[in-house]
Amino acid sequence: MLWSGHFPPAPKLPEVDAINFAPRVKMPVLMLNGRQDFTFPLEASQKPMFKWLGTSKADKRHGIYDGGHVFRFAHIIKDTLDWLDKYLGVPK
């Protein structure tokens, strides 16, 4: 689960650059972001990371909410809990 998942805007050393590791991620991923995030913009930072994740399309979801880098958590609680129920099971 990635809240405010993104590729950093500045280049990093290859051994710590997320672009070199995102394709290796194969587990289910829920990535939640703010549409108006000026720190990590939707088109330049969020969408590229989501695209590069190695997770199958069926097991990854990019939730985009109104708001900036820090968006209202009340909006994402249901999506987060639903995701956890789907992949970890409903608590008994």
Mean pLDDT in consecutive groups of 10 residues from the start of the chain, 92 residues: 88 89 96 93 95 97 91 83 94 86
Any domain includes 64 = yes
Any domain includes 72 = yes
Could you say which DSSP state residue 74 is in? G
Token pair, residue 29, equals 């991923």
Could you say which DSSP state residue 42 is in? I
Any domain includes 73 = yes
- DSSP letters along 46-57, please? IHHHHHH--S-G
The total number of residues written for the chain in this structure: 92
Token pair, residue 63, equals 């939730």
The whole-model pTM stands at 0.88
Total of domains in the chain: 1
Any domain includes 18 = no
**pLDDT in the model for residue 92:** 83
**pLDDT in the model for residue 9:** 82
Sign of CA dihedral 31, 33, 38, 43: positive
Any domain includes 34 = yes
Any domain includes 84 = yes
Q: Containing domain of residue 58, as a range? A: 2-6+25-88
**pLDDT in the model for residue 13:** 92
Any domain includes 36 = yes
**pLDDT in the model for residue 53:** 97
Any domain includes 68 = yes
